Amino acid sequence: MSLYLYLNKNTFIHRLNPITKIICLLLLFAAAMFFIHPLYLLILAGILLVIGISSGTLENLRKLWILMAMIGIFSFILWSIFYRGPTVILRYRFISVSEESLLYGLGMAVRLNIMLFSGLIFLSTTRIEDFTAGLNKLGVPFSASFALSLAFRLVPMFLGTASTIIEAQKSRGLDLDSGNIFQRIKKHIPLLIPVFVSALRTVDNLSVALESKGFGAGLKRTYYLQYDFRTADYLALSFIVVLNVFILYLRLQGVGNI
């Protein structure tokens, strides 16, 4: 199984300029922040679901739906308890749950999942090198954009190393699955040492390779791949901008509040 989320497909979203996709991602994050009421956030989630279907990224959603569901459930529970509202439904000692807190908790759960799903679509349709080039074209210094894109490469690499070490130890007879959760955690702790040693070795080799290639020499960088704006990019940007303006107008009119 690939540890990277990128799906090599020839869809409308995949063919967009990386700058377009970065701007659309930021605007989708902003659109999710405008509304509080879960009903309007669910409408935005439906629009995002259509985008996910058209980009063919639902297979990645099936991989991560448990994580998104857990984040949504915990967000709903926590905000329902700590948010205060006048219409109290349940009160037990210092804990009170109101109608407003339930709506707010559900809205926050939907909002977080919208942002996660937006990022999932972006990572599923954008190569890491395209992401780096897009950030650089937007004015982000190359060192910063390279460091950010490097995180997307190193995290799956470390997860793959950890998985390899665990499987190697299991093949040698190490029992990691028996016992309660605390006993299993205790068994995994010694495996952190080879994972960290491998991570340090990888980082050291990477730093030597970057130095040998003159990284940070101060010269203006050029790119083999050139990204041009096409009609599809203008259409995608226009749709997202109009959507954000419409949502902002509704929010200023008091729509979408609790």
Mind listing the pLDDT tens digit for each residue in 103-150? Answer: 899 999 999 999 999 999 998 999 888 888 888 888 888 778 878 877
Q: Cβ neighbours of residue 198 under 8 Å, at least 6 residues apart?
A: 158, 161, 165
Q: Are 47 and 246 in contact (CB under 8 A)?
A: no
Q: What percent of the chain is modeled with pLDDT above 70?
A: 95
The tens digit of pLDDT for each residue in 139-181 reads 888 778 878 877 777 777 777 788 888 888 888 887 877 778 7
Amino acid at 177: D
Number of neighbouring beta carbons within 10 Å of residue 7: 16
> Is residue 1 over pLDDT 50?
no
> How much is the average pLDDT of 171-198?
81
Half-sphere exposure of 11 (CA within 13 A, CB side): 18
- What DSSP letter does each residue of the chain carry, written as one string? --SS-------TTTTS-HHHHHHHHHHHHHHHHH--SHHHHHHHHHHHHHHHHHHT-HHHHHHHHHHHHHHHHHHHHHHHHHS--SSEEEEETTEEEEHHHHHHHHHHHHHHHHHHHHHHHHHHH--HHHHHHHHHHTT--HHHHHHHHHHHHHHHHHHHHHHHHHHHHHHTT---SSS-HHHHHHHHGGGHHHHHHHHHHHHHHHHHHHHHTTTT--PPP--SS-----HHHHHHHHHHHHHHHHHHHHHHTTTT--
- Cα distances (angstroms) measured from residue 1 to each of 129, 156, 163: 21, 11, 11
The tens digit of pLDDT for each residue in 57-104 reads 888 888 788 888 898 999 898 888 888 877 878 777 777 788 888 889
